[in-house]
Amino acid sequence: MSSEDLDVAQAEYEIGKDAFERGEYRKSVHHLEQAKASINLQSRLGGEIQTWLVTAYEAAGQRAAALELCRSIS
């Protein structure tokens, strides 16, 4: 993973968290999915992104996606 990918993942992660905290759950899902696509999922940041994404999926009413991601994490 390049430092550019890490920068993209970090930026998308922050945008996704901020959107979630404002109640913009679909926007949060979009940005967290972008972050997830740009990061090593086995890294600490990858784990944080996936945890937030599960929560965002659930808040956005995408329970099936939340459960699928939970299964893939475990």
Number of C-beta neighbours around residue 12 at 10 A: 21
Which residue from 73, 21, 72, 71 is spatially nearest to 48, judged by alpha carbons? 73
Q: Encode pLDDT of 50-73 as tens digits.
A: 999 999 999 999 999 999 999 999
Which residue from 73, 61, 51 is spatially nearest to 26, judged by alpha carbons? 61
Mean pLDDT of 25-42: 96
pTM: 0.93
pLDDT score, position 33: 98
pLDDT score, position 4: 86
